Structure 1
């Protein structure tokens, strides 16, 4: 894939209506209102992926304390852009971001994307069918 996109942390670029519309159709987003999405964006460290013409391709957010823990949530690529590698690019960018890279633990929940996240060193947590993490915390 050529560099036909860019990723930004600028929340002003986010298309909240498109994010809400996509998330509302997912098993984990049922019932979210536009106000819910606005509030989650306001209170999270967000990433948008866009075409060079500024059309939003996808979204991800991390709920974090900016030192120890981050919870990766709402990783989405809008339907017409799926299957083109944008999701992998977005995840790679998020994990290489200086804030996220410095966290001791990054966790997520997924029902159906374990193999995708395993590529990025996420491991299942205990017997949970949903929880995964990258844990760099030293227990010396």
Structure 2
């Protein structure tokens, strides 16, 4: 899938991804994956279902990944737009593109984790857990840094 908006493109073609850009952002500029090794990131990307690369020309300037079974569940993660491209509505366009992807239209439950982008995700129907008493997690903050 590929969509265009002016000089920008969003593509789900994994061969276009630039892991060095993704790794640099996640390892050095994100709060959720600081210190992630390139090997761990590569493994994570190899086993993700859908990748959404945001490009200016051939340069990757944003990214998001979706882990899904294409029917009942999807987890949205590692969403970012490089700082110098923020404030142009690109994160909203990226989210709109993800949510409109034809293979994701029958997903019953979407999950994501965010510390600071609630306003963005609320625009696309994300809310606090409807039934938090039914949800559990096992969390190891150190695991991703291995």
Output one character per residue of 1:97-140: Cα deviation in whole Å (capped at 9) or x when no partner.
01222211111111111111111111111597xx9xxxxxxxxx
With the length of structure 1 as denominator, give the TM-score of the two structures.
0.84
1:127-138 paired onto structure 2 within 5 Å: none
> What's the counterpart of residue 44 of structure 2?
40
Shift of 1:9: 0.7
Unpaired stretches in structure 2, ≥5 consecutive residues? 136-146
Is residue 19 from structure 1 mapped to residue 22 from structure 2 by the alignment? Answer: yes
Cα deviation for residue 59 of structure 1 reads: 0.3
User: Structure 1 pair 127/98, CA: closer, same or farther in 2 (3 Å)?
Assistant: closer
Superposition CA RMSD, Å: 1.8
Cα contact 1:7–1:50 (8 A) shared by 2: yes
Counterpart for residue 103 of structure 1: 107
The answer to whether residue 90 in structure 2 is matched with residue 86 in structure 1 is: yes
Number of residue pairs the alignment of both structures matches: 127
Following superposition, the deviation at residue 3 of structure 1 comes to: 2.0
What's the offset of the Cα at 1:38? Answer: 1.2
